[in-house]
């Protein structure tokens, strides 16, 4: 059959025959495990595999995702060709950060971090640590203090080297 753009593309020979049952719409399945190459093995209602069927995926999963529910579609409706389109989110499973020990506040003009013990900003070999006792520790291979105005150093005592 000819189309406006040329001959109609041939269907893959391994697509399901019309006489085989097909699955249309989204099916809820579970990640059982992974293949050696990292493809998720999924199970869903009606499939006969005890270890799961290898599925293509639109997202990356890891070993921690074993047992989670996923949404599945099937290539050309073929029950042997599942495609994982995403993980189902359950509000009770979402881990909320602890607000007792730490807090972050952002209002568009100011960013404030609050913690009970200490706050550490780290990048490579450089760090800034703020402690509960009021210490400010600045560490790095090279430090520079630059000011276009007055650059003051004040303290109960000042030690240089």
Residue position matching structure tokens 């600045």: 138
Residue position matching structure tokens 């210490």: 135
Lowest-pLDDT range of 12-26, 47-61, 146-160? 12-26
Residue 97 DSSP class: P
E strands, the chain, in order: 2-3, 6-7, 27-34, 40-43, 53-54, 56-57, 69-74, 82-87, 102-106, 111-115, 118-123, 126-131, 136-139
Delimit the domains of the chain by residue range. Answer: 2-91, 102-139
Please state the length of the chain: 161
User: Cα(113)–Cα(106) distance, rounded to whole angstroms?
Assistant: 9
- pLDDT band of residue 107 (cuts 50, 70, 90) is low
Residue 134, CA distances (Å) to 86, 115, 117, 119 in order: 46, 12, 10, 11
Query: Which pTM does this prediction carry?
Result: 0.47
Residue 55, CA distances (Å) to 26, 61, 81, 87, 135 in order: 14, 12, 7, 13, 54
Q: Which residue has the higher pLDDT, 9 or 50?
A: 50
Q: Which residue has the higher pLDDT, 46 or 53?
A: 53
| Domain 2-91 class, CATH top level | mainly beta
pLDDT of 97 higher than 70: no
pLDDT at 84: 96
Average pLDDT value for residue range 30-38: 90
State pLDDT tens for residues 137-148: 999 999 888 889
Helix, strand, coil share of the chain (percent; to 5):
5, 35, 60
* Residues in Cβ contact with 91 at an 8 Å cutoff, skipping those fewer than 6 apart: none
């Amino acid at each position: 059959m000819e189309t406006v753009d040329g001959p109609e593309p041939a269907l893959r020979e391994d697509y399901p025959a019309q006489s085989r049952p097909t699955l249309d719409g989204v099916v809820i399945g579970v990640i059982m495990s992974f293949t050696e190459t990292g493809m998720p093995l999924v199970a869903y209602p009606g499939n006969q595999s005890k270890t799961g069927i290898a599925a293509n995926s639109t997202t990356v999963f890891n070993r921690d995702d074993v047992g989670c529910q996923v949404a599945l579609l099937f290539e050309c409706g073929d029950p042997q060709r599942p495609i994982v389109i995403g993980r189902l989110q359950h509000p009770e499973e979402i881990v909320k950060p602890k607000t007792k020990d730490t807090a972050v506040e952002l209002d568009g003009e100011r960013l404030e971090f609050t913690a009970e013990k200490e706050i550490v900003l780290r990048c490579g070999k450089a760090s800034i640590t703020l402690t509960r006792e009021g210490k400010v520790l600045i560490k790095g291979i090279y430090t520079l203090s630059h000011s276009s105005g007055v650059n003051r150093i004040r303290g109960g005592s000042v030690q240089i080297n």
